[in-house]
Amino acid sequence: MAILSIIEIPDPRLKLVSEPVAHVDASVRKLMDDMMETMYDAPGIGLAAIQVAVAKRVLVLDVAREGEEPQPLFIANPEIVWASEELNVYQEGCLSIPDYYGDVERPSRVRVRYLDRDGKVQEMNADGLLATCVQHEIDHLNGVLFIDHLSRLKRDRVMKKYTKAARLRSEA
Ligand code: NI
């Protein structure tokens, strides 16, 4: 396994729509394993392939709390097949927008169909933090960031700040 580098805003690749995988083959499994290691190392609770600059519909998640058994989820080609009308607000963050957090409202429960690490079709019912996290990661596959759910004023302020920071880094 390998730790991959995570791209950050304003990298334009984060706006790409990722492509489905044809099969969960050895190369997709390797990507999943590397992504999981990268996510644990960061540390984070979810990571989409585009965040390591691979435009494939692949995610890894683990929302277990510290001290709990790990609950790694390897997901390809996810589809939300049902979402509750009831909404929930969580303060979200993102490994591609380090040290910034904001409240996002999303369906509180979802059912997701996906291919697992063995390429088998699975369906899971998610609620609580897992529901928020899987929706946040699926958004990444469609080029959507959690700041896109905030007001335009907040989003513009964040983009400006990170664009300036990236420019200063590149000039240093
Ligand atoms: Ni994210």
Q: Find the CATH number of the domain harbouring 104.
A: 3.90.45.10
Q: What is the pLDDT of residues 28-69, one digit of tens each?
A: 999 999 999 999 999 999 999 999 999 999 999 999 998 899
Mean pLDDT value across the chain: 97
Say how many Å lie between the CA of residue 137 and the centre of ligand 1: 6
Structural domain that includes position 118: 12-171
Say how many Å lie between the CA of residue 138 and the centre of ligand 1: 9
Is 171 a known active-site residue? no
Residue 3 domain-assigned? no
pLDDT of residue 136 exceeding 80: yes
Contact assessment for residue 14 and residue 50, using Cβ atoms and an 8 Å cutoff:
yes
Beta-carbon contacts of 169 under 8 Å, excluding residues fewer than 6 positions away, are none
Contact assessment for residue 74 and residue 117, using Cβ atoms and an 8 Å cutoff:
yes
Range from 94-98, 139-143, 146-150, 164-168 carrying the lowest mean pLDDT: 164-168
Confidence tier at 171 by pLDDT (50, 70, 90): confident
DSSP for residue 31: H
Residue 5 domain-assigned? no
Residue 49 domain-assigned? yes
Residue 2 domain-assigned? no
Residue 1 domain-assigned? no
Per the structure, the count of domains in the chain is 1
pLDDT of residue 146 exceeding 80: yes
pLDDT of residue 172 exceeding 90: no
